[in-house]
Chain A
Amino acid sequence: MTITHAKPAAAVKIRRTPSQLAFNLIAYTIILLLSIFCLFPLVMIVSGSFTENDTLLREGYRLIPSRFSTASYRELFKYPDSILRAYGTTIVCTVVGTALGLLIISMTGYVLQRKDFKYRNVFSFLIYFTTIFGGGMVPWYIMLSKYLHMNNTFAARVFPILMSSFLIILMRTFISSSCPVEIIESAKIDSAGDFRIFWNIVLPIIGPGLATVGLFLALSYWNEWYLTSLFITKRDMYSLQYYLYDLLNSAKFAQEMGIATGAEKLPSESIKMAMVVIVTGPMILLYPFVQKYFVTGIAIGSVKG
């Protein structure tokens, strides 16, 4: 005897009714088109980066380079100093911000899900409230720049996105769903301190939650340009994205003003594309490995949260 499990997807697949065939046709077509729609701008950039600048200026952007060339990458790494510096500061900010953010977020999430903590709802609400009402961007900017003196410090690139109420609530849900109350209670009976319980018992079993929240944090640090644009004026402290933004805009500006003719220093179109690939590269390379954490994390946070 075979045990038949309920598998609707399989059952549906076997039945080849006309409506099922029609549905499959529609579904595969639409999903395929959506995927192409999502992928093709990225292909275009990669293709541009492997095209020689002259060809690019003559033929415009295409999906497949008409003549493959790595000239722009070689050109880009002739003077690697400034891009490597932007890379360096961005890596440091990403690592520090993610580690610190993870520690604080998980600690906060842990306390807020402790059923015996009387003020957990008060604190949860105070954290949530920041998403529905705030002073606006300008008072926040004045606060950080005038009163916390964050202009031209790395703190300006780390502090403001260290945590968010969304991530704390996501973590709280994660901890309360993956970490049974009994474990915490039995640890308390063994008179373990609250921080010890968090550090030795809770942290090790919320790995997937840490991965998800950590990825959200890392992504926001890696893609950060806004904070740099507000607080940083020193070029050697630019984040990678803002460095690219600045480069693109000065090139665009020069072009509009007509200074571009003969100016050797302006980045060519294909070098810009190579820059984009270099800047996005690490995220895209990591993507296949981290994607599943994102998916499970978002799923848990959204369904139960």
Chain B
Amino acid sequence: MTGDSRAVPKRRAAGAGAGKKRGLLYELKVNRVLFLMLIPAAVYFILNNYLPIFGMYLAFTRFNFADGIFRSPFIGLENFRFLWESGKLVKLTVNTVSYNLAFILIGNFMQIASAILLSRLGSKVFKKITQSVMFLPYFVSYVILNVIVYNLFNYDLGFFNGILQSLGQEPYDFYNTPGIWPVILVILYIWKQVGYGTVIYLATITGISPELYEAAEIDGANVFQQIRFITVPLLVPTFITLLLFSLGGIMKGQFDLFYQVIGNNGVLYDATDILDTFVYRSLKQDFDVGMSTAAGVYQSIFGFIVIMVSNALIKRNHPEQALF
């Protein structure tokens, strides 16, 4: 990068005695204020992110709080064996990955569609109001979402059962029907996220040169063709970037959503339990530290592999969009 070489002529001259090699010590001396300014963030990430990585060792121990991380008894792969034999791991993985894929694909489709439609609306006022309304759920907490879901689907008082009853139908027992929840969860995800994604895609669309559309119009392309051959292809890079980001979290998933909406309703676990909720419950309710860490280790490593592989694949065809 050329930017590197045009730095601070004055200081460079002062440090000329140190030779051309700019080692760490030299940098520390010249830019010590910059280093100092990084310290708070460094401390944060070390405590909050890097040191806990060593805690993965817990997965190989029978943890007790008094002995702490490094003095609890070492039991090898016992926790992993238990996790595997419980038979839950496959189910949890399948649930986590398929929910995330549904969220990513359906979510992005909705976001792209609403961004394209919004960008082409004539009425500025309508556009502004609807965009604000669609963005509103992003600000609503998941605890509130839990309340909303309860109001909608509750057996006695729920909004939908109210409608069913007024139509002379039997009420539907949503909370005892696991099969319906994947659909509900995807819809809730869209409700929460559609506005946010729309903003991102809308920003990309705004950046498209108007001349492209003018040229297309002169060539007789109608609005559908303009969208199909100009807007959509130009949104692909943004989509790939967002896709890569979401693939990185494919083993994590929307913990808040699942935990708040499903909570401790064991009837629904088969269809709705994901790795995050499983780990949380194993820690909070059973305090099984070793086993829940093991599940977390599995989740971390699996997720890491997914992102490395998908990044490598993207790099081959779209090097610009690769994350690293």
Residue numbers of A with Cβ under 8 A of B are: 6-9, 11-13, 15, 17, 19-20, 23-24, 26-28, 30-32, 34-35, 37-39, 41-42, 44-45, 48, 56-57, 59-62, 104-105, 107-108, 110-111, 114-119, 123, 125-128, 130-144, 146-148, 159-160, 162-163, 168, 181, 185, 188-189, 191, 193-195, 198, 219, 222-223, 225-226, 229-230, 241-242, 244-245, 248-249, 252, 269, 272-273, 276, 279-280, 283-284, 287-288, 291, 294-295, 298-300, 302-303
Binding site for A on B (CB under 8 A): 1, 3-4, 6-8, 10-11, 22, 27, 31, 33-34, 36-38, 40-42, 44-45, 47-56, 58, 63, 65, 68-69, 110, 113-114, 117-118, 120-122, 126, 129-130, 132-137, 139-144, 146-148, 150-152, 154, 156-159, 161-162, 165, 191, 194-196, 199-200, 202-204, 206-207, 210-211, 213-214, 217, 222-224, 238, 241, 248, 255-256, 260, 263, 276, 279-280, 283-284, 289, 292-293, 295-297, 299-300, 303-304, 307, 324
- Pairwise interchain contact B296-A138, C-beta atoms closer than 8 A: yes
Question: What residue of chain A has the Cβ atom nearest to residue B4's Cβ?
Answer: A115
| Chain B proximity of A279: nearest CB distance (Å) | 7
Contact across chains for B52 and A143 when beta carbons are under 8 A apart: yes
Are the CB atoms of B48 and A140 closer together than 8 Å? Answer: yes
For the complex formed, measure the closest distance between the CB of A254 and the CB atoms of chain B, giving whole angstroms: 15
With A38-B191, A60-B157, A226-B256 as known contacts, state yes or no: A12 contacts B283, CB within 8 Å: no
Question: Among B120, B143, B191, B222, which residue has its beta carbon within 8 angstroms of that of A17?
Answer: B222
Checking B53, B132, B222, B256 against A291 with a beta-carbon cut-off of 8 angstroms, the contacting residue is B132
Inter-chain contacts of A272 with B (CB < 8 A): 147
- Residue A133 contacts which of B114, B217, B304 (CB distance < 8 angstroms)? B304
Nearest B residue to A37 by beta-carbon distance? Answer: B191
Contact B203 A298 (CB under 8 A): yes
B292 CB to closest chain A CB (Å) equals: 5
Q: Determine the distance from Cα of A164 to Cα of B135 in the docked complex, in whole angstroms.
A: 22
Interface SS of chain B: helix
Given contacts A20-B222, A126-B45, contact A303 B204 (CB under 8 A): yes
Query: B280, A115: Cβ atoms under 8 Å?
Result: no
A38-B195, A137-B280, A299-B200 known; A32 vs B130 contact (CB < 8 Å) = yes
Given contacts A114-B34, A146-B68, are A135 and B148 in contact (CB under 8 A)? no
Having A19-B223, A35-B133, A244-B143, one finds 16 other A-B pairs with CB under 8 Å, namely A8-B210, A9-B120, A17-B222, A19-B222, A38-B194, A45-B151, A115-B3, A116-B31, A128-B324, A133-B300, A138-B289, A139-B55, A194-B34, A195-B33, A294-B199, A302-B204
Q: Is the CB of A30 within 8 A of B22?
A: no
A198 to B31, CA, bound (A): 14
Cross-chain contact of B207 among A62, A114, A303 (Cβ < 8 A): A303
Which residues from A are CB-within-8-Å of B34?
111, 114, 117, 194
Most chain A CB neighbours (cut-off 10 Å) among B140, B161, B284 = B140
User: Given A27-B121, A115-B3, A57 and B157 touching (CB < 8 A)?
Assistant: yes
Given contacts A134-B52, A194-B34, contact A146 B65 (CB under 8 A): yes
Task: Assess the A60–B52 pair: CB atoms within 8 A.
Answer: no
B324 and A56 form a contact (CB under 8 A): no
The answer to whether A134 touches B300, judged by C-beta atoms less than 8 angstroms apart, is: yes
Which of the residues A27, A134, A276 comes within 8 Å of B120, measured between beta carbons? A27
Query: Is the pair A194, B133 in contact by a Cβ cutoff of 8 Å?
Result: no
A280 touches B140 (CB 8 A): yes
Is B162's CB under 8 angstroms from A127's CB? no
With A108-B38, A114-B34, A132-B304 already in contact, the answer to whether A138 and B4 are too (CB < 8 A) is: no
Task: Please tell me if the beta carbons of B10 and A188 are within 8 angstroms of each other in the complex.
Answer: yes
Q: What residues on B are CB-neighbors of A249 within 8 Å?
A: 263
Q: How far is the CB of A120 from chain B (nearest CB, A)?
A: 9
Given B49, B139, B255, B307, which contacts A283 in the complex, CB threshold below 8 Å?
A: B139
Is B37 in contact with A248, judged by CB distance below 8 angstroms?
Answer: no
Please judge, given known A-B contacts A7-B210, A245-B143, A272-B147, whether A34 and B120 are in contact too, CB under 8 Å: no
Considering only CB atoms, which chain B residue lies closest to A29 in the complex? B117
